[in-house]
Amino acid sequence: MNLVKPVLMEIRLRRSERFMDEEPVDDRDHLWVPDTPYQRARLTHAVERGTRLFGERSHWIEERRA
C-alpha cells in the first residue's frame, strides 16, 4: 500500500517590479492556480511572451505548496 501523498502545488505569473507601471495590471496576475498541465502551459506561454517583449527575467512562474 502506498502511503505517500502527492504534494499539491500552486503556480502564478510574476513579473519584475520594474514593469509594474508599464503593463496594465490584471487582477488575475496575482491569483494562485492549481499546477495542472493546462495552467502550466498557459503561464509558460505568458512568460515566453513577456520575455520576448521585455527581456530576460522580466516574467516567471512562481510556485508554492498548496
Look up the pTM and report it. Answer: 0.76
| Apex 65 CA angle, 39 and 53, nearest 5 | 45
pLDDT tens by residue, 18-49 = 765 555 555 555 799 999 999 999 999 999 99
Count of beta carbons in the 10 Å neighbourhood of residue 10: 15
Whole-number pLDDT of residue 28: 57
Share of the chain above pLDDT 90, in %: 65
> How would residue 3 be classed by pLDDT, with cut points 50, 70 and 90?
confident
Q: Considering only CA atoms, which of 16, 9, 10, 8 is closest in space to residue 60?
A: 16
- For the chain, the straight-line distance linking the first and the last C-alpha, in angstroms and rounded, comes to 24
